[in-house]
Amino acid sequence: KALHKNYLAKHPAIVAWQQLELGKAIRLGVVNAPLGHRRVFFPDSNQVDPSKVYNFGPQSAVAYIVSSAMRELHAAGWDIRINAHDELVLNVPFAQLDEAGVALKAAMERPYALNGKTWVFPIGGLKVGHSWGDMRPWAERASLMEAQ
């Protein structure tokens, strides 16, 4: 809790944004996310959970980005096996590994227009492996392919 308080003390703009968004949720009963989604709340301060208000924008943005990437990859014929919150897992033959990595990165890092600016939300990093438990950083894919 002390770390959180210190962080907010150093970043008063975040506190101002939180108060603005919470006020909108209480007064208007709705919060708008940057990529156009809306969440409706009962306009009563006893019914509005601040953490849900604060988290709605980032969570809806991630959901939108992943959903858009899934549609693009599916249309291109990639075998999507798992969608877990902010991750996509593809089943790819080793011969197509580099091509799949390029396609996945491009789909997940698609530019979006927000408030008159173009934004790219970088992904944390690609991983590769024979199974979920065997995942390695993308840079190690050559050693994985050699072991094949």
Q: Which residue would you say has higher pLDDT here, 120 or 74?
A: 74
Greater model confidence, 12 or 148 = 12
The label of the residue with tokens 């995942």 reads 135
**Do 72 and 102 meet the contact criterion of CB atoms below 8 Å apart?**
no
Q: How far apart are CA 67 and CA 61, in angstroms?
A: 10
Which pLDDT does position 44 carry in this prediction?
62
Segment 35-88, tens digit of pLDDT:
888 999 876 657 788 999 999 988 888 888 899 999 999 999 999 999 988 889
Write down the pLDDT at residue 88: 92
CB 39 within 8 A of CB 30: yes
This prediction's pTM: 0.79
Q: Where are the alpha helices (DSSP H) in 11-139?
A: 12-28, 50-75, 97-108
pLDDT, average across residues 120-136: 86
* pLDDT over 70 at 147, yes or no: no
Query: What is the β-pairing status of strands 87-91 and 79-84?
Result: antiparallel
| Lowest-confidence region among 91-100, 111-120, 127-136, 139-148 | 139-148
pLDDT at 56: 92
CB 88 within 8 Å of CB 108:
yes
DSSP classification of residue 24? H
Residue 22 pLDDT level (bands cut at 50, 70, 90): very high
Query: Residue 14's pLDDT is what?
Result: 93
Which distant-in-sequence residues (6+ apart) come within 8 Å of 91 by Cβ? 79, 81
Q: How confident is the model at residue 8 (pLDDT cuts 50, 70, 90)?
A: very high
What is the per-residue pLDDT across 56-69, written as a single tens digit (0 to 9) for each? 988 888 888 899 99
CA distance 129 to 136: 6
- The two most distant CA atoms of the chain are separated, in Å, by 61
